[in-house]
Structure 1
């Protein structure tokens, strides 16, 4: 059954990709000898060149939009070493949840049945129903394109509500009283998607405004929620995951550089410990490299980004680069 699903899904992706190119980039298709249409035939005569260019605005390379990013290769473990990739990015986390028509989306869709899945961690409030409404930016992005593989977002939330009713009967009484479904700080729920450009799985971790005011430690519920997320990632073949480094969606005026550095150091140390802990869940043959992408809110200063990037070498053991030197005996 799984093989049949793979073939059907691959066929659908291939046909969808060809249709997109045929409808939006006829010149490219012509070069590929898949059609011979003229690009000007798709536009009325009164359409300007600027409007034509805007019509292809969805076909963008989102990697070009990251003005600040830094990559690292690290080694974990003392006896049995494993190599992983880390990346620090200044961007809007929802950017990775977009459904823009990029090569990233095609690659993500084609790897849906692979052993290398991608995931994103989003901060959510404690009210499950509010996260499912059209007022949610995430929900709006999901509804911009059709979901042809997994249940619709609304249906997935209904299943989560059913699980809450089963696990917490008190929620039934709250529903009768007109109250929304409430989750606790650090709780995590999962939605699955096949129409996003950068992820197959979305981890929604519950956090409120107190996360930016209170002093947290390694036993904070949100930190323990991150531990559970990484555990699932190691068990279920999620090799690429985006994490909010500061546990913030955006920057606030009362947040200082020192606060950011302290929070980032805590998260990095906790993630390092979780990765070492979770690596024991895998056998040597099952071990694989993980890519952890730490995202900070877009718009931070270059000074803060440089300070954050300087923390990585102090927390992780970076791989030594190999230099090729000329040997006189050769």
Structure 2
């Protein structure tokens, strides 16, 4: 489950257009466990619940606004390879200027339809495709929620390095994941009307809603994989549950950009995930790549439950099809 940067100005474009949605799943491919990362969606489908995800950062508005989000998402498998997730975020905006008013409210509801199309255990590779929908008008305009839908077809992939030869055994715990999406607004432009306070004349303002390439990835080093598939270093058990990682979340307007520009915005997020049998906890720093992405380093944290491990014959079972092996990252 990932966070969604939310901004109230054009300078905070990443905030309003980032449709990766909260990452709703973890995945096991061969010996490789792909955890649910906080910034981008991972490449698998499972039954999971991410509650809560919390973040705090200064967004890219001018002047900057201190933003805090609390979000949650539920993912449910319809079949073993197809899942639907639902997510919502509540945002608190606190301007750094004490005179400016703040705002609180829900962002638009997100829904993601995701299908796993390929899985190769031998090479620890998996790929899925999906469609994310942001339902316009379900959130508050006060916190930047748009009044129109956005549709984002996505490609997700994950690759572990466990198939490397013995001479590269220390690299085997490394894995990469990635996501590429194309956010398409249901309306090409938005026109607002106002009255000039001096002349009383009608004023119109048109803002073009850009189409945006959303792209990101992770590089991660799995201590559970190191112990189970490479070498047991005899470390305290706590360290054998850690997956250090670095994520990147980037957004580039690529079409209908007359009023938005084409500047790429986003964050680089170093952090760590602690993985248990039925849940995980992760925390990452949010480092903006430029001043339009944010004005300081923020933080995000998430508690994530594996419903397919907690109740594999009930809520963690696909709606159609039999029970599947619980996707625990540790031997039972």
TM-score range, shorter chain: under 0.3
Of structures 1 and 2, the one with the larger relative CO (CA 8 A, separation 6+) is 1
Q: Higher strand proportion, which one?
A: 2
TM-score by length of 2: 0.27
TM-score by length of 1: 0.27
